[in-house]
A and B are shown apart, each in its own frame.
Chain A
């Protein structure tokens, strides 16, 4: 709050001096009012800016939200589009349990993922198709999908979804399940990976015998495989997903730290080097 400094008027001032003093006081008051008005205008503008910024962030939050559609599409046409996309990607490539690619491929890439991990989704949808198209389809690489709990909050949910993928692997369709899950991944922390959601994913895997798949989900061998994957990740000091181990098939593996999870460049270099060795 502005405060006007006013000198006390001596009583023995002349009329002219009193007039000057009055004028000065009036001027000071006017100036103080003008200053207060300016400050109010600034505060008003600040309020407008803050409001615009808040609205902007809410819009970004709602609209961007990762820029992805979440969950299983409601329409059959959209589901069919995902099924076709996945079939185009992995169709015709041999699958066995958690492995995609011909068994004789000289290079093996172990992909540690959590089906609810959004960065895994980014990798699976961005860099992986190029790697599969170039190296796996070419017979030089096979990819093993292994489970590592990171993004999924509830261990029971993690176990249920990863076992569902492994059970699809019993029918050599694990990669169709994984790809479909990542394509239709729900919004993180929304609790979307319910039993109904998992069955919805399975129902989009062409040729999957759902009765057998349901039965296989309870197989203790698959649970042991989950534990084994977790131990392998710990042994390799992998503490986040996606994470990768790469090496000559049947030989030792080393950690692959790509420069980007959405560009295949680092993967191409590592695979090419190992394929030649």
Chain B
């Protein structure tokens, strides 16, 4: 998978997650019933004490997370953006894992929107870790002793993996 196709895949996943988190945030503030094929499971999850963290709706936290990730994907790619992206997706993955545990073991109801978002982050987390680790760093050049940027296109690579 090329760096470009990986970035596109991550962007598509992020946009999907953004849509879900945006919808759940709307549902929370508009106090409307979420579309749910599994009866009132989504309402139970949305109404549970676990739907907020320190008074902030977890849907809003997710929305902000996805917006940040999308911003990083659309920004000029660098070592820092790849690192931040990896860190954010790992945080998102762990948090959605915690929420899924609460759904299964505390609320006894699964919100399909939340489950889909968790699945998206489960795919994104390893992809962003792989993206961060796999890209070859730029070799040190005079005047830029710790540059980790990718080599310019066309530059020969002296090593392979």
Where the two chains meet, the residues of A that have a C-beta atom closer than 8 Å to any C-beta of B are 1-5, 28, 31-32, 34-35, 38-39, 42-43, 45-46, 49-50, 53-54, 56-57, 60-61, 64, 66-68, 118-119, 121-123, 126, 150-151, 188-189, 239-240, 243, 257-263, 265-266
Contacts and interface: CB of A to CB of B under 8 A. Distances in A.
Interface stretch (B10-18, B67-75, B89-97, B113-121): B89-97
A60 B54 CA distance: 10
Given A32-B159, A260-B33, 8 more contacts: A3-B159, A5-B159, A32-B158, A42-B133, A50-B90, A53-B94, A118-B106, A258-B33
A28 B33 CA distance: 62
Contacts of B127: none
B94 A57 contact: yes
Given A56-B94, A265-B31, A258 B43 contact: yes
B43 A38 contact: no
A57 B95 CA distance: 7
B143 interface: no
Nearest to B84: A49
The A interface, classified by DSSP as helix, strand, loop or mixed, is helix
Contact of B90 (A49, A126, A258): A49
A141 to B, nearest CB: 20
A66 B98 CA distance: 12
Contact of B83 (A1, A4, A45, A121): A45
Given A2-B161, A39-B133, A239-B39, A57 B148 contact: no
Contacts of A122: 47-49
A118 B49 contact: yes
Contact of A260 (B31, B91, B109, B161): B31
Interface of B: 31-33, 39-41, 43-44, 46-50, 52-54, 83, 86-87, 90-91, 94-95, 97-98, 105-109, 129, 132-133, 136-137, 139-140, 148, 158-161
A39 B161 CA distance: 12
Contacts of B48: 118-119, 122, 261
Contacts of A35: 136-137, 139, 159
B19 to A, nearest CB: 20
Contacts of A46: 86, 129, 132-133
22 contacts: A1-B161, A5-B158, A31-B140, A32-B159, A35-B139, A38-B137, A42-B83, A56-B94, A60-B53, A61-B98, A67-B49, A118-B48, A119-B44, A119-B48, A126-B47, A188-B105, A240-B41, A257-B43, A259-B31, A260-B33, A260-B46, A261-B47
Contacts of B129: 46
Contacts of B32: 259
A5 B105 CA distance: 55
B159 A68 contact: no
A38 B159 CA distance: 14
A57 B90 CA distance: 11
